[in-house]
Amino acid sequence: MLLQVLGTAAGGGVPQWNCACPGCSGARAHPHWRRRHASLAVQASEDRWYLINATPDIGDQIEDCPALHPGPGSRRTPIAGLVLTDAELDHTLGIARLREAGVDGLELLTTTPVRDALTSGLRLEAVIGPYTPLTWRDLPFDRAEPLIPGSRKPTGSPDPAITVTAIPISAKRPRYAVDSAGPGAVPVGGAMGSVDPWVVALLLTNRATGATAVYAPALAAWPEALQSAVAEADCVIVDGTFWDDEEPRRTGISARTATGMGHLPIDGPDGTAERLAPLGARCLYTHLNNTNPLVDPDAPQYKRLAERGIEVAGDGMVIQL
């Protein structure tokens, strides 16, 4: 299984256009600090890739990754489709950038709440439909879905090896969809209960080799299903938005804590580092906010994580499993 890290920043990127915090100022002064919005590309077959989330940086992310460049035909692209972990703007605005797909259209794997938000809240089909057709495919929780369906594989080729399974994480809706679906809206924190999941993690599996990876760029909770998946995974890439729970309040970006904003912090007795350290998998953080001290590559927090065997993903990183 081949994974290409396309971006590792939370909403707004690093630097954020309207921010002069130390992280953003540092990124302007030191270009190697810069991070694009969090996204991942997964090689589904020799020349076909799926992008996980479509960020506002999607055009530049594609250009910076030669494996995603078009060719050999003038309009042939190796990008087969998109898999969405949620309906947040920083994970979906890039869909509009892909309107040039034309008659070939775009395939999107999503949960039902995410699809409903994008079609009714953002009106994607009405806006993008005149440019390119959108094909929706369910992202299942109860089974592994081939990234490339067997019905689309060339005659005589082996069955698709890479599968994806959604792991329900929370019912945290994007702000534009908080009032869109009546009862069950969970705008902050996102406890699940009986509410349909709006945020999922992804379990990627190579059926030929047995290699597995978990990608979870937004974590409002750590459910048992996620724990079961990461315990068996070879690679785990998770939400590192905030270093500690008080970071949003301490830096003045919010009156809420990290958990109140729907992101488990890295550090602390209930931080995600405590859950990652005992795992046998290669563990990495992504989705860093501009206030996170890890934005500075020389921050002492890197050493603390390294001592526990945990890494911070970088834009352009290639992971081979």
Instruction: Output the average pLDDT for the chain.
Output: 92
Residue 183: pLDDT band (50, 70, 90) is very low
249-275: per-residue pLDDT in tens?
A: 999 999 999 999 999 999 999 899 999
DSSP conformation class of 93: G
Q: What's the whole-number mean pLDDT along residues 293-298? A: 98
pLDDT reported for residue 104: 83
Residue 139: pLDDT band (50, 70, 90) is very high
The three-point CA angle 170-166-288 to 5° equals 60
Contact by Cβ (8 Å): 245, 268: yes
- pTM of the full structure: 0.93
99-124: per-residue pLDDT in tens?
A: 998 878 999 999 999 999 999 999 99
pLDDT reported for residue 103: 78
pLDDT exceeds 70 at position 171: yes
pLDDT reported for residue 207: 95
74-104: per-residue pLDDT in tens?
A: 888 999 999 999 999 999 999 999 999 887 8
The rounded percent of the chain whose pLDDT value lies above 70 is: 92
pLDDT reported for residue 197: 84
pLDDT reported for residue 124: 93
- With tokens 């890494």, the residue in question is 311
* Structural domains in the chain plus CATH codes: 2-320 (3.60.15.10)
H-run or E-run covering 190? none
Contact by Cβ (8 Å): 172, 199: yes
Contact by Cβ (8 Å): 158, 184: no
H-run or E-run covering 99? none
pLDDT reported for residue 190: 43
Q: What's the whole-number mean pLDDT along residues 8-15? A: 98
CA atoms of 189 and 287, how far apart (whole Å): 17
